Amino acid sequence: MRSEREMMALILGVAQKDERIRAVWMNGSRTNTNAPKDDFQDYDIVYLVTERESFIRDPSWIDVFGKRVILQTPEDMSLFPSEYPDTYAYLMQFEDRNRIDLTLVPLEFLEPNVKGDRLTVILLDKDNRIDPIPPPSDEDYHVKKPSAAFYDDCCNEFWWVSTYVVKGLYRHEFLYAASHLNSWVREQLLQMLSWQVGIETGFSLSVGKSYKYLSKHLPEETWKRLRSTFKMDTEENIRTAFNETLQLFRESSKLVGKHLGFAYPDYDEKVTAYIEGLKSR
C-alpha cells in the first residue's frame, strides 16, 4: 500500500505539472484531528481548474493515480443523479486499498466550494487567489441540539412508520416490514440516540457518517440492545427487533425530552395500543 507521503506527492505532482489546475485543497477525515486514523481513510481532494471539459473528454488522465478496482463518476450517473452539477468528481478505489475522491471545481465556483466545508486545508494555490481560511474543524458535523418541533417530528415519524411495520408483519410481507423497520423507524431511533449522546457530551462532538461513532458514546447495555435489533432474518426476529426498537426509542426520547424541556408525545400510548391490537389478531 502506498504511504500517505507517496499519495500526497502524487496528488500535488499532477496538479503542479498541469496548467489547467490552479489550486488544490483537501477535506474529509484526513483533515479532522478527531477522526480515527487508519488505512481506509479516503483522500478527499479538490482541484480548482480553469475548465472541466478537456478533463472529461479524456478520462485517461486519471490513470496516473494508480491501478483501479473501480471508478464512479456521479455526474454521469442516471441512477443517482449528482447534487453538484457545476463540479465533476472521480471516485477512485485502487488495488492497493488507497482511495481518492477527486473533484474538479471551475474557477468561477471557488468561493462556495472552498468555504463550504470547515474541514478544508489548502495544499496548493498557484495564483494566491484563495483568502486565508480558519484551521480545520469538525464543528459543523457535531450533533446539533434539536428544537422542540424537530424533536416532535422525530417522534411522530417513528411512531407513524411503526404502524407500517406491524401491518407488514400482520400480512406476512417480510420485505415490507423489514424495509420500514430498517430504513425509517431505525433512522429515527439513531437520531434520538445521537441527541442523547449530544446531551451527555454538551453537543461537542460528531457521531460520524451513518452514526459510525455512536457506539463509542452509548452505555454498553444500550449498544448491545441496539445491535440486537439488526437481527431480522425471520418474521419472528423482526418482531423481536421491532419490540426492542420501540422500547429503546421510548426510553431515549423520554430522556431527551426531559433534559431539553420538551413534552413527550401522548400518541406513543395510542400507537402502542394499536400495534398490540394488531399483534394479537
Instruction: Give me the residues of the chain with pLDDT under 50, please.
Output: none
In DSSP terms, 124 is beta-bridged to: 24
pLDDT score, position 113: 86
Looking at 1.10.630.10, 1.20.120.330, 3.10.580.20, 2.130.10.10, the CATH number of the domain 142-279 comes to 1.20.120.330
**Cα 222 to Cα 208: distance, rounded to the nearest angstrom:** 18
**Spatial distance between the Cα atoms of 90 and 53, rounded to a whole number of angstroms:** 14
Rounded Cα distance, 248 and 236, in Å: 18
Q: Can you give the pLDDT at residue 281?
A: 66
Q: What pLDDT, in 10s, does the model give residues 153-184? A: 999 999 999 999 999 999 999 999 999 999 99
Report strand pairing: 99-106 vs 43-49: parallel
Classified by CATH at the fold level, domain 4-140 comes out as Beta Polymerase; domain 2 (3.30.460)
The 10s digit of each residue's pLDDT in 67-108 is 999 999 999 988 877 777 789 999 999 999 999 999 999 999
List, in order, residues 6 or more apart from 68 with CB less than 8 Å away: 92, 93, 94, 95
φ/ψ (deg, to 5) at 92: -120, 120
Q: Residue 280 has what pLDDT?
A: 66
Domain definitions of the chain by residue range: 4-140, 142-279
